[in-house]
Amino acid sequence: MPEFDIQISIEADGWQPEQELEALASRVFQAAAAYMIAEEKQPFPPHGTEISLVFTDDAAIREVNAEWRGQDKPTNVLSFPAYPLTPGGMPGPMLGDIIIARETVAREADDLEKPFADHLTHLMVHGFLHLFGYDHMNDAEAEIMESLETGILATLGLSDPYAGQGLV
């Protein structure tokens, strides 16, 4: 099983303690990696890889979203691969950064009538897949990515996040 060095930065109030976020991230990334190895034959570096997780708020993610994506609005999750990677490619020692905004996650979880932790788990999986080159810019890409998300989340005991929804 691949090893992950998870670097966590909590940059806003309202998030769980760092130890809880790290434990959740470790469980989510291990499940995602196991699924990707089994289902997609995804390779991983033999000496592990680093992932940076930033837990922030709507104001901060709005700035990043405006600067890097030209969208002046908050969003739930942004991912920045450390190196360009296509699905199935070998990641380097640094996988990349995932940034998550608490207020948007909370709003969406309420709208979906799902526990905050379940929606946060989904967004961690979503961000993780982006780091591996998966995207949802067109219907074909979205179908692949959503299928992988649904499969990974099922291994974590969570239901299909796309059943009648379309928030991500």
| Any domain includes 160 | no
CATH number for the domain that contains residue 101:
3.40.390.30
Residue 167 confidence (pLDDT) = 47
Answer yes or no: are the C-beta atoms of 126 and 30 closer than 8 Å. no
Three-state secondary structure readout of 7-76: EEEECCCCCCCHHHHHHHHHHHHHHHHHHHHHHHCCCCCCCCEEEEEEEECHHHHHHHHHHHHCCCCCCC
* pTM to 2 decimal places: 0.94
Residue 164 confidence (pLDDT) = 66
Percent of the chain at pLDDT exceeding 90? 90
| Any domain includes 134 | yes
| Any domain includes 90 | yes
